[in-house]
Structure 1
């Protein structure tokens, strides 16, 4: 299992095997605000207005493209829900892989940087 710093430095790779429940729970315990729901991990980010919400979506778009690991995004006026799962794991049935946590940490870092948080 990787640390937060290792996840932040890592890049996504092709995954065919998902993580087991204990591993998923350990990673979720390390991440603030992320939760597991219906075979995904997700987090809701809140903003002052629609402009800030879209700026966030645009900021994470580059990382998403570079990692070639695309979340489902639900965008509203002052919030964005980021939802990750890995479609290729477990013989195409989908599940949660380390790639999901790599990207979750990177999304958090982009949000924190934009909001002046360490």
Structure 2
């Protein structure tokens, strides 16, 4: 993994620049199994994590929630039995910002710590 997980999210407001498709491609190369999805016209980063049971999935979802609060950047977290799906995107710009890739990298790091 790159050093992306070591960066801090910057404050992002309406009008902040979205990543270009070429920037997104480069950043995505450092995020194994993450994919870009387009929902309701909004590009998002998504990854599904699998666990042995609900309790492990729940614990991971809690870690992602703590990360989101620490970065003040909040994803969609879907918790199911043995599965957590995380979607990062920047609400203020209706698309992907560098912050989303930073948070995706930090999400990956949660499993290796």
| TM-score (normalised: structure 2) | 0.88
Q: Deviations over 1:59-83 (max 9, x none)?
A: 2222110100000011110101100
Going by fraction, where is strand more abundant, 1 or 2?
A: 2
Q: Deviations over 1:72-117 (max 9, x none)?
A: 011110101100110112xxxx01000001100000000222xxxx
Q: Which of 85, 89, 113 is equivalent to 2:89?
A: 85
Structure 2 equivalent of residue 70 of structure 1: 74
Q: For the aligned residues, what is the CA RMSD?
A: 1.2
Pairwise CA distance, 1:4: 2.0
Structure 2 equivalent of residue 61 of structure 1: 65
Separation in structure 2 between the aligned mates of residue 98 and residue 44 of structure 1, nearest angstrom: 20
Q: Following TM superposition, where does structure 1 have runs of at least 4 consecutive aligned residues deviating by more than 2 angstroms? A: none
Structure 1: give runs of 5+ residues left out of the alignment.
114-118
Pairwise CA distance, 1:56: 0.4
| TM-score (normalised: structure 1) | 0.85
Q: Deviations over 1:26-56 (max 9, x none)?
A: 1111110100001101000000000000010
Aligned length in residues: 106
